[in-house]
């Protein structure tokens, strides 16, 4: 468990994955037997972020926002079919093969004005 004093300790890892260089997962209880105040850290900079933001499995950061992935799980075959046919990857309608307007950033929802195909994957 991480304690309130950990970010002021000289052994604090400043890592999103580890709490301390001595006690990797933190300590049991409310005090740490190895706490040593890090005098090199100014009071207003006690918490400093180093490294990549941690993200739970099933989620990703897009900019500064954590976005959870849909709960439904696709099979490998379904994923490969999506890569082979979805307009996001092909730039074409999977029904009539007409080119679809590409935007930057890419569209979230794709529809074909030519044949009426509607993207229901989202």
Residue 66, phi then psi, degrees to nearest 5: -85, 120
Domain spans, the chain: 1-69, 74-122
Residue 84, phi then psi, degrees to nearest 5: -80, -25
Task: Identify the residue with better confidence: 62 or 83.
Answer: 83
pLDDT given at position 71:
64
Q: How far is it, in rounded angstroms, from Cα 81 to Cα 84?
A: 5
- Cβ neighbours for 22, distance < 8 A, ≥ 6 positions apart: 11, 34
Q: Where does residue 109 rank: exposed (0-12), middle (13-18), buried (19+ CB within 10 A)?
A: exposed
Q: Render pLDDT for 22-54 as a digit per residue (tens, 0 to 9).
A: 888 778 888 899 999 888 776 655 454 445 556
pLDDT at 111 over 60: yes
- Whole-model pTM? 0.38
């Amino acid at each position: 468990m991480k304690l309130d004093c950990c970010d002021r300790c000289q052994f604090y890892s400043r890592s999103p994955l580890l709490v301390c260089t001595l006690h990797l997962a933190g300590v049991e209880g409310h005090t740490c037997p190895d706490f040593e105040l890090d005098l090199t850290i100014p009071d207003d900079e006690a918490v400093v972020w180093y490294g990549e933001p941690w993200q739970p499995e099933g989620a990703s950061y897009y900019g500064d926002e954590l976005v959870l992935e849909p709960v439904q799980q696709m099979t490998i075959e379904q994923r490969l079919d999506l890569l082979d046919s979805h307009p996001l990857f092909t730039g074409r309608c999977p029904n009539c093969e007409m080119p679809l307007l590409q935007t930057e950033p890419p569209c979230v929802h794709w529809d074909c004005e030519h044949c009426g195909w509607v993207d229901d994957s989202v």
